[in-house]
Amino acid sequence: MATIRNRIAAYIAIAAAVGFNLISYAPLAPGAHTRAWGDALNYYAMSEHTGAAVDNPFALRMLSPFLVRQVHLLTGLSLDRAWLAFTAVALVAAIVAFFEFLTRMLDCSAFMAMAASLGLAWTWWFGPYAMANPYLPDPVAQLVVVVAVWLALARKLWWFIGVLAVGAVNKETALLLAPLYPVLCAVRERSPWTRDVWRASAMVVVLAAAYIWFRVWAQWFIGGDYRLGAGQGNDGVAANVLFALSSRPGAEHGAVFGVFGALWVLFAYGLYLAVRNWGVRDELVLACLWFAGCCAVGRLAATDTERVFVMLAPLVLAVVALLLDLPLRDDVARLWALVVWVCYVAVSLRWVPAPAVVFVDLVALGAAIACLTTSRRTEFLWATTTACRAPATTTGSTSSPDTATTPRSSSTETDRDSRDGKGKVS
């Protein structure tokens, strides 16, 4: 776990990174909303008048525009400035939550958690784009994802349901995370018929019913008829899916890969190592696979491929951080890990010309290989499922998940302390 000094340094660095995005990309000129485009026009109209009858599905995503309007009324800031301030605060909150998730829940070293947090802040479709187009609910949606996954892994059912209930008012896609909790319970208990599974399933049903009630109330309040999943045309789910899938012919693969670039490869390799060592019962693996499926389903009804798949950013960068965190026993490995993050940020912020992107991605992968092969430590200690946790073993040995009891935090305490400067490694 990070020390207070580590946390203060991380929070300052995160705030500075978001400030960098604000200065570099935000529309600061007076009347900037007049040059807004796409979905932003609907959300801005909703912040001018709560319950504005804008297009489907934006009209029922009421939370962010409502909060911005309250900021505007309470502070006297213009709506443009209120949106900028709200977006910046939401981004800082989401990235700070991500840092705490890495250090507290996943036992990542403070050094790697800070590097990953800055990488998240400078992921183009996560941070810079949010500041360039600040009239969107995406930052709050990202905060909901980070906190909800953390609560699911920490087994906090009531808080998990509460966060998703609030998140659904901001963006209904938060509801796709709800079934993850009973799935994790079934994996932990090795049976779908236990009391925890049924209780979690019942809470998911209650959440769905509450959201249906909200939609009924919101449509009455707005005075319109908005079909769930029907898209802007409001012509039905099938018509919306056909429109969304035909919006970018021949460009989908490149758009998805461009969201994270080389980190997709490291993400896949990290999941492979976890599955190889612990099986698919590792809870972080299940969360990643589940939410990847949610993003794929979300793409069926949305045309902005990058904005859909960047919702995976906290999980992709968390897996990469854990992967690179394993061998950090000396400054050489730490330097190679930094090269990976620098290459990623350079590509993400578009400092690299298009013809050189593939080369820089290959450099990042080469640096990751060098980082992973520098250390003498070859066992893979990441496991987030209690039943999967096992004491550290020597290379080539095996352990049974049924008898494993030692958590990663205890088995790596010495290594983590040494990386955070509290000890020495001989």
pLDDT tens-digit map of 97-139: 999 999 999 999 999 999 999 999 999 999 999 999 999 999 9
pTM (two decimals): 0.87
Q: Assign 3-class secondary structure to the chain.
A: CCCHHHHHHHHHHHHHHHHHHHHHHCCCCCCHHHHCCCHHHHHHHHHHCCCCCCCCCHHHCCHHHHHHHHHHHHHCCCHHHHHHHHHHHHHHHHHHHHHHHHHHHCCCCHHHHHHHHHHHHCCCCCCHHHHHCCCCCHHHHHHHHHHHHHHHHHCCHHHHHHHHHHHHHHCHHHHHHCCHHHHHHHHHHCCCCCHHHHHHHHHHHHHHHHHHHHHHHHHHHHCCCCCCCCCCCCCCHHHHHHHHHCCCCCCHHHHHHHHHCCHHHHHHHHHHHHHHHHCCCCHHHHHHHHHHHHHHHHHCCCCCHHHHHHHHHHHHHHHHHHHHHCCCCCHHHHHHHHHHHHHHHHHHCCCCCHHHHHHHHHHHHHHHHHHHHHCCCCCCCCCCCHHHCCCCCCCCCCCCCCCCCCCHHHHCHHHHHHHCCCCCCC
Mean pLDDT of 244-271: 87
Is residue 237 scored above 60 in pLDDT?
yes
In terms of pLDDT, which residue wins out, 25 or 328? 25
Q: What pLDDT sits at residue 254?
A: 87
Q: What pLDDT sits at residue 116?
A: 97
Mean pLDDT of 25-48: 92
Is residue 379 scored above 60 in pLDDT?
no
Q: What pLDDT sits at residue 235?
A: 63
Mean pLDDT of 406-416: 40
Is residue 284 scored above 70 in pLDDT?
yes
| pLDDT tens digits for range 327-358 | 666 788 889 999 999 999 999 999 999 999 99
